Amino acid sequence: MTLAVAVSPQVSVEGTVQEVIYKKALPKVIVLETAGRLLWIKLKKSLRQELHPHPRVGDRLRIYGDRCCKGSDRAYYCKAHHLEFLAVKQPSGSVAVPRCKVLICQKSSCCRRGAKQLWQELQQEAIAQELPICLKATGCLGECKRGPAVVVLPLKKRVTHANAEQIKALVQQQATLNG
Ligand code: FES
């Protein structure tokens, strides 16, 4: 006998943030304007916790999620499990692409070697010091015994036994290159 399992359709949508609703200091809902429509998008808990930077009004995002079915969370367009910053709003009102993407392996070997703490440390420092970075969890980078393993883009720099100071130095190096 085969069991039928209901699977929500996957969607991806691109647009500009109009509003961010917080719960317990984490973004819970994003209102996204796309092609003249306002979409209410609920962030999955796992995404809320790993998100950095937090989206702000005016940022352009691409959001991936499970389409909400009628009857449950009807008001929401989708439940997002991943999002990508296409452009972030600057204080001047202009938009710019984030300068550094920091991929941090979040698989078990790296987590045992401090990858989660590294993530939290960088997240806190990025908020406190307004570092132009976007943290992203990634799968195994093939450096399991030398974790935490990190890749910093666009420098394409791979760091093993990574710590926050090394990553900050690379981000600053990239910022210098960008002028
Ligand atoms: S588990 Fe992190 S590199 Fe393999």
Confidence of residue 6 (pLDDT cuts 50, 70, 90): low
- Between 3.20.20.150, 3.40.50.450, 3.40.50.300, 2.40.50.140, what CATH number should domain 10-96 receive? 2.40.50.140
In ligand 1, the atom with minimum distance to the C-alpha of 144 is 4
> What CATH number does the domain located at 100-178 have?
3.40.30.10
Q: If you measure from the C-alpha of residue 174 to the centroid of ligand 1, how many angstroms do you get, rounded to a whole number? A: 25
Top mutation candidate among 103, 116, 138, 140 for ligand 1, by most atoms within 8 Å of CB: 140
Ligand 1 neighbour 149 (Cβ under 6 A): yes
Ligand 1 neighbour 148 (Cβ under 6 A): no
**DSSP string over 52-84:** -SPP-TT-EEEEEEEEPPTTSSTT-SEEEEEEE
H or E element, residue 47: helix 45-50
- Contact assessment for residue 119 and residue 49, using Cβ atoms and an 8 Å cutoff: no
Ligand 1 neighbour 81 (Cβ under 6 A): no
The residues spanned by each domain of the chain are 10-96, 100-178
H or E element, residue 88: strand 78-89
Report pLDDT for 155: 85
Q: Which residue has the tokens 């420092």?
A: 125
Ligand 1 neighbour 141 (Cβ under 6 A): yes
d(CA 72, CA 29): 16
Top mutation candidate among 104, 138, 143, 159 for ligand 1, by most atoms within 8 Å of CB: 143
Residues 137-151 pLDDT 10s: 889 999 999 999 999
Pairing of strands 100-105, 133-138: parallel
Residues 91-116 pLDDT 10s: 665 555 556 888 999 999 999 999 99
Report pLDDT for 8: 65
Q: Do domains 10-96 and 100-178 have the same CATH topology?
A: no
d(CA 65, CA 20): 17
Measured CA angle at 83 (ends 80, 89), to 5 deg: 125
Ligand 1 neighbour 111 (Cβ under 6 A): no
